[in-house]
A and B are shown apart, each in its own frame.
Chain A
Amino acid sequence: MKVLSQIRLPARLEYLHKGMDFVTFCARGQGFNQKKILEIELAAEEALVNIFNYAYKGRGGDVEIICKLDKNENFMLEISDTGEPFNVLSVADPDISADISERHLGGLGVFLMKKLMDDVQYRYKGNKNILRLIVSKKK
């Protein structure tokens, strides 16, 4: 595992663009094409916004983003917070075949994240929610 760069930001919406700029910078450094960079940005936004909205229940805290390469040279964004333990992967998928009236507003962000990344892993360790967004290098 090789750490490329990392950043720590207050877990608040006004820091979203700062976090996204950091993610874009990391992804660009790995030579991904524009399409893949947008997908990585999108997955990262969904992960960050979930943390901003739910992790600290109004009491405030930080989010840490680490860009890494794993042992197979896959690109990995490790996004962690010290808020309430919560596995975002437990969020139910939205019913994407439902009509406008029946469609619920929630659940889309996590769904997009899972669909766009090659792998998404969650674990709770050392008082931290750790979410890993993984993109295979070979693609």
Chain B
Amino acid sequence: MEIAAHKEKNAFVVSAKGRIDAVTAPQFENSLFGFMSKGENIFIINFAHLEYISSAGLRSILATSKKLKEIKGEMLFAGLQDPVKEVFKISGFHSIFRIFATDEEALANIG
């Protein structure tokens, strides 16, 4: 898995590429907690190039979101591909998170 991140207006866009599984999920979670500790609290997670996510990745997302909620932040999602979308749907993540087709759409819906 590869992670790229950049600031876009008042949000921090984090793109994850490849696979988030039990081996790579800690790296994903640590990155997000790292950005949070530097003061970022609005995240757009772009999964356009993520081909696979397992429950370890979902747990990382949930753990990060719980923390973000405490600091009045938010995590939005963009660009989910079908396999990841299916996992989000089964897990009920599509109803607890706001999911958009693109970063631009997510940016327009912050707050």
Binding site for B on A (CB under 8 A): 13-14, 16-17, 20, 35, 38-39, 41-42, 45-46, 49, 52, 94, 96-101, 103, 105-106, 108-109, 111-112, 115-116
Contacts and interface: CB of A to CB of B under 8 A. Distances in A.
Contacts of B95: 96-97
Interface residues of B, number: 23
A45 B54 contact: yes
Contacts, number: 68
A108 B52 CA distance: 15
Contacts of B36: none
A8 B56 CA distance: 23
Interface in B52-94: 52, 54-56, 58-59, 62-63, 65-66, 69, 82-83, 87, 90-92
Given A103-B96, A108-B59, A96 B91 contact: yes
A111 B62 CA distance: 16
B62 A105 contact: yes
A41 B21 CA distance: 10
Contact of A35 (B58, B66, B82): B82
A104 to B, nearest CB: 9
A41 B52 contact: yes
